[in-house]
């Protein structure tokens, strides 16, 4: 069980330490017997270094080295010397260790995949053996960046006079958003805790308590359908401030973003960031989190198209909808198969179909051209600033669906036309502001909060809550980086009567509001200061910083798209006795 402890790590070696006696500990990356020399590459999280045995003078070591295999854990002692054939591809490539002794600390079975940077192993296998996947250099780099972000967050907010708190993980269920994860209470049988979707209410209460500036790097939980950039449990940098307005919070977030990009990527970014309203983002880019690294803007043509004989356009306009288009520059060469695929893509976002129009050297090519006059086609072309070789994708539907479908097509066209590849190493930063405060849910037959029920309406829109609540705008703001919502926040309601009015609009009776949020309503009666905050998606930031498009690459032990862990097989069944202690009984599935 004993071994010789290291005096240096595998990334420590440079010509300056040539001639020094060292001991390293690590994993065998490879062992190669070249006849005249035996090369052993050893790695740890600090780097990789080559060790050498010379069989002619080190016969006993050479015989023992025949046992070595990849992923054996070893200690090696020896003398650092300059390499005859340097390797410029690794930081330690100018030197090597002439082995004087070594020992096997632990053997390893053949791994289910090679521990290499560029493996093409399916993700399921990597997740099942996550502890091996995490040994790979790209994964270790991801988590060193993640660690750096932790340290920068602590430093930046401490320097800006924030107080770090830990808020409860077991809290009251207050469902007004995503679905809660529930935890049954053994002591209070029949009652449940919820895992926090966010520390939202606690941080507001800390402002009422007078702490002025709160910060926490916190785990949050949402029982919702997953995507590549979402997980059931995730981490956020949670911030709240008193006696501030939206501009103060946005400036603080911009300062943190500047620091992170400077320290992690050695890039200087300019502030203040560009701002656009939600309405502008939707109508220009078809998204409330548009990627501004490339153009491809949408064009509204409702006024031009509503007078045509094409029934789809006429019906949409007469029902208060919109007609808009995307000019896919240079994409007139798309085949019918590609256009059919774009149509299917549009349908996934709620479209009933997709109209298109190609401008080629032979003229216009479109299945809807027969319903349009030449001057109407020319008007579409001019509105889109289209040229020969361009493809117009046209959509007619209710306001938000019309633009959202085109926004999804904008991204798909960028992928298919090679635009994404050209901008993959660039970053764009901007704010989206003035979100709708509420939206109407036909399924629930009531208004629901666009962000959350504690977001304040803009001052000039408070009166609209009584007459036209759907037109009220929120004091909300999202930081968008490369098409991802990297942070989101708002100024909060700090007056009891306004908060109660908000609950009324959401269809909560006074009894329901008291049962769910009574502690907040009570706190707002005791001198709550104006306050607001922001939450930064920690995992998403790391994903952006390391250039990944999969959030599982930056979470040590993530869940799959079905919210399960392939490594430890969570979630799992529990013993009958555990259920009895909790006062629970599972219902049998119907036949």
In terms of phi and psi (left: phi > 0; alpha: psi -120 to 50; beta: otherwise), the region of 51 is beta
Give the CATH superfamily of 294-423. GAD-like domain (3.30.1360.30)
Q: Please, which residues have CB within 8 angstroms of residue 46's CB and are 6 or more apart in sequence?
A: 9, 10, 11, 12
Helices (H), 160-245: 200-208
Residue length, the chain?
Answer: 591
Rounded Cα distance, 164 and 153, in Å: 11
End-to-end CA distance of the chain: 56
Written as one string, the DSSP assignment of 482-518 is TTEEEEEEEEBP--HHHHHHHHHHTT--HHHHHHHHH
**For 15-106, CATH number?**
2.40.50.140
Rounded Cα distance, 585 and 591, in Å: 18
Rounded Cα distance, 509 and 503, in Å: 8
Per-residue pLDDT of the chain (591 residues; tens, 9 = 90+): 789 999 999 999 999 999 999 999 999 999 999 988 999 999 999 999 999 999 999 999 999 999 999 999 999 999 999 999 999 999 999 999 999 999 999 999 999 999 999 888 899 999 999 999 999 999 999 999 999 999 999 999 999 999 999 999 999 998 666 789 999 999 999 999 999 999 999 999 999 999 999 999 999 999 887 666 679 999 999 999 999 999 999 999 999 999 999 999 999 999 999 999 999 999 999 999 999 999 999 999 999 999 898 999 999 999 999 999 999 999 999 999 999 999 999 999 999 999 999 999 999 999 999 999 999 999 999 999 999 999 999 999 999 999 999 999 999 999 999 999 999 999 999 999 999 999 888 888 888 898 899 999 999 999 999 889 999 999 999 999 999 999 999 999 999 999 999 999 998 888 989 999 999 999 999 999 999 999 999 999 999 999 999 999 999 999 998 889 999 999 999 999 999 999 999 988 877
**Single pTM value for the model:** 0.93
- Enter the DSSP assignment of 473: B
Radius of gyration of the chain (CA): 30
Among candidates 454, 471, 325, which has minimal Cα distance to 392?
325
**The CATH fold of domain 139-165+196-276+429-568:** BirA Bifunctional Protein; domain 2 (3.30.930)
274 near 292, Cβ under 8 Å?
yes
Cis bond before residue 272 (omega within 30° of 0): yes
Q: Locate the domains of the chain by residue range.
A: 15-106, 139-165+196-276+429-568, 294-423
Rounded Cα distance, 21 and 23, in Å: 7
Among candidates 328, 354, 331, which has minimal Cα distance to 341?
354
């Amino acid at each position: 069980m004993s071994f010789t402890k290291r005096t240096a790590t595998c990334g420590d070696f440079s010509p300056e330490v040539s001639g020094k006696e060292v001991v390293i500990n690590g994993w065998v990356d490879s062992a190669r017997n070249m006849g005249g020399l035996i090369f052993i590459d050893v790695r740890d999280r600090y780097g990789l270094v080559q060790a050498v045995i010379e069989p002619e003078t080190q016969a006993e070591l050479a015989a023992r080295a025949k046992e070595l295999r990849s992923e054996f854990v070893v200690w090696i002692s020896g003398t650092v010397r300059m390499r005859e054939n340097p390797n410029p591809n690794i930081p330690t490539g100018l030197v090597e260790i002439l082995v004087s002794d070594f020992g096997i600390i632990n053997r390893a079975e053949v791994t289910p995949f090679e521990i290499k940077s560029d493996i093409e192993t399916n993700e399921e296998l990597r997740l099942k053996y996550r502890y091996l996947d995490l040994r790979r250099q790209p994964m270790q780099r991801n988590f060193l960046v993640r660690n750096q972000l932790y340290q920068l967050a602590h430093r930046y907010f401490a320097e800006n006079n924030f107080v770090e708190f830990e808020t409860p993980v077991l809290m009251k269920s207050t469902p007004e958003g995503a679905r809660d994860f529930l935890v049954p209470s053994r002591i209070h049988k029949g009652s449940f805790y919820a895992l926090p979707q966010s520390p939202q209410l606690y941080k507001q209460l800390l402002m009422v308590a007078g702490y002025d500036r709160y910060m926490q790097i916190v785990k949050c939980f949402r029982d919702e359908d997953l995507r590549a950039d979402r997980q059931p449990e995730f981490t956020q940098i949670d911030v709240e401030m008193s006696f501030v307005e939206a501009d103060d919070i946005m400036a603080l977030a911009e300062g943190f973003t500047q620091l992170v990009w400077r320290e992690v990527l050695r890039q200087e970014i300019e502030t203040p960031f560009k701002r656009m309203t939600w309405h502008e983002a939707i109508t220009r880019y078809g998204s409330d989190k548009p990627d501004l690294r490339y153009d491809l803007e949408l064009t509204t043509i409702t006024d031009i198209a509503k007078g045509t004989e094409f029934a789809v356009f006429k019906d949409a306009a007469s029902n208060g909808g919109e007609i808009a288009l995307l000019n896919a520059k240079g994409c007139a060469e798309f085949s019918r198969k590609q256009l059919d695929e774009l149509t299917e893509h549009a349908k996934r976002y709620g479209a009933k179909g997709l109209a298109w129009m190609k401008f080629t050297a032979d003229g216009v090519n479109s299945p809807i051209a027969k319903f349009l006059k030449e001057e109407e086609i020319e008007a579409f072309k001019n509105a889109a600033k289209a040229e020969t070789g361009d493809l117009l994708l046209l959509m007619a539907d209710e306001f938000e669906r019309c633009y959202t479908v085109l926004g999804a097509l904008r991204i798909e066209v960028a992928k298919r036309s090679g635009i994404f590849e050209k901008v993959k190493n660039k970053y764009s930063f901007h704010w989206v502001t003035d979100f709708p405060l509420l939206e109407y849910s036909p399924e629930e037959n009531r208004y629901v909060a666009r962000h959350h029920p504690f977001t304040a309406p803009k001052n000039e829109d408070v009166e609209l809550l009584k007459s036209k609540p759907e037109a009220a705008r929120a004091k909300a703001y999202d930081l968008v980086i490369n098409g991802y919502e990297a942070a989101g926040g708002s100024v909060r309601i700090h007056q009891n009567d306004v908060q109660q009015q908000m609950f009324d609009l959401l269809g909560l009776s006074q009894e329901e509001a008291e049962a769910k949020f009574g502690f907040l309503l009570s706190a707002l009666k005791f001198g709550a200061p104006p306050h607001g905050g922001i939450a930064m998606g920690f995992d998403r930031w790391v994903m952006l910083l390391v250039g990944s498009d999969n959030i599982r690459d930056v979470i040590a032990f993530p869940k799959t798209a079905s919210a399960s862990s392939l490594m430890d097989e969570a979630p799992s069944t529990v013993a009958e006795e555990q259920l009895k202690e909790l006062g629970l009984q599972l219902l049998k599935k119907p036949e």
